Amino acid sequence: MPELPEVETVRRGLHHLITGYRIAEAADLHPRALKAESIAPLATLKGARITGTARRGKFLWITLDRPFVLVAHLGMSGQFLIQEKDHPAAKHIRAQFSLKKTLRKLDLVFNDQRTFGWLSIEQLTDGVPSSAHHIALDPFDPDFDYQGTIKKFAQRKVRIKTALLNQEIMSGVGNIYADEALWRAKVHPESLTSELSRKKLAAVIDCATQVMQEAITQGGTSFDDLYINVNGESGFFDQSLSAYGREDEPCPRCGAPIRRIVFGARSSHFCSRCQRKS
């Protein structure tokens, strides 16, 4: 599933390519493309001018010169793609948008092989669409409460990996970057948050922020073509992973084997020597 670095990469691509364009046509082509809670069909977007983009955690939205926004969640395999006329059409188009700006035209599509992604037209409250109101701020938000987030982690008596994946404590971190952050912080994924020091919890947040920033710089992590950016290009951060997906490979730090365990229906990868359970 795309995590914050992948969603931010898509957002930046959209912001650069489609801001200022007007939506000439908009249509959903699959029964699950539009979220049931959407306040209007996609056709309502006709005539709206795109004024920018925004994101919270793994949610992104396109801002318009209208009292509503177009929200998107990429799910497992959702992609926004610019459809070039001299290239083969994407195979799993769920919604399409015809964009115009003076004499220029763009065809933007929402492609989603596994159909867990969705689009939604929503109003904003305090600058956030309704579907993202329950989502906590991520470390890149200027209003992120660093000390408050440490306190929230410390107050929970859950495994740190579970806490990192809880989007209502700190958003944006998924399975990949949780494993990488914990590896960097030398914390076992099953360590209880209530038993970790404030200093160690701060290190986990710092490492999560660092690893996601590096991933953004490299365009995110791509293991297959289910995640590509707006131009159809893959990210390269998978080549920099130290723990995730590296089962039985030597730890880049100490040489001990990377182990994999499963809890909460998710795999966790960690160093058997560097990340001892507290």
**Residues acting as catalytic residues:** 2-3, 58, 266
DSSP string, the chain: ---HHHHHHHHHHHHHHHTT-EEEEEEE-STTTB-TT-SS-GGGGTTPBEEEEEEETTEEEEEESSSSEEEEE-TTTEEEEE--TTSPPPSSEEEEEEEEETTEEEEEEEEESS---EEEEE-EETTEEGGGTTSPPPTTSTT--HHHHHHHHHH--SBHHHHHH-TTTS-S--HHHHHHHHHHHT--TT-BGGGS-HHHHHHHHHHHHHHHHHHHHTT---SSTTS--TTSPPP-GGGG-SSTT-TTSBPTTT-PBEEEEEETTEEEEEETTTS---
